[in-house]
Amino acid sequence: MANLHFHYGVMGSSKSAQLIINAYNFRKNGVATEVIKPSTDTRFGATTIDSRIGLSVDATALENLEHWSSDAETKVILVDEVQFFSPSDIDKLVHIADTQNKIVMCYGLMVDSNEKLFPASARLVAVGAKLHAMASNCQIHGCMKMATHHLRFDSSGNVVRAGQQIELGDGNYKSVCRMHYNQFYKNQNTR
């Protein structure tokens, strides 16, 4: 098994649910497992990861990984919302995976709502993490295409195209296919 993984997908593609399931299964089988997340993710509480389907797991919330080290007994490290960490934090995870023979499994978004790679996600790709795309359907009514993008809306229902890209929660977002992203974000008509 590869020792560095990046499970990525749009919002609603069950990334956190899969992390929670993996944490449960590893621990059930006696594998020492640590779960971490960025401290900026406070949607469901400071020290928990919750999925939209009702699963949860305790997690260690960290501002960054500069002074963090995993327990000596740990065999697996699960990282939620990895896109909110920095590229240097990714380098620390790479070092752990390569020198401590631990499996590091990261979960998060690849791109923001402006089609820009998150720096941490770009670093995971650059260092050769094994990529696992997690699929979800477009959230535009009646569309059955695979969601690949995020649209962000303001309180009036207008597409947000600029400004701060980190907004916690998914109330103002829709995961959409490329066609609908281009239609709404770029004001392109579709045939």
Query: Which domain, by its residues, includes 52?
Result: 4-134
Q: What is the CATH number of the domain that holds 107?
A: 3.40.50.300
- Indicate which residues carry an active-site annotation: 81
* Closest by CA position to 57, among listed 25, 92, 90: 25
Q: State the DSSP code for 85.
A: S
Q: pLDDT (tens digit, 9 = 90+) per residue, 36-49?
A: 999 987 676 678 88
Total number of domains constituting the chain:
1
Residue 136 has pLDDT above 90, yes or no: yes
- pLDDT tens digits, 63-88: 999 999 999 999 999 999 999 999 99
Is residue 173 included in any domain, yes or no? no
User: How confident is the model over 82-129, as pLDDT tens digits?
Assistant: 999 999 999 999 999 999 999 999 999 999 888 899 999 999 999 999
Q: Does residue 66 lie within any of the structural domains?
A: yes
With beta carbons less than 8 A apart as the criterion, state whether 124 and 82 touch.
yes
> The whole model's pTM is what?
0.89
In the chain, where do the E strands start and end? 4-9, 33-38, 48-50, 56-58, 60-62, 76-79, 103-108, 130-134, 149-152, 173-176
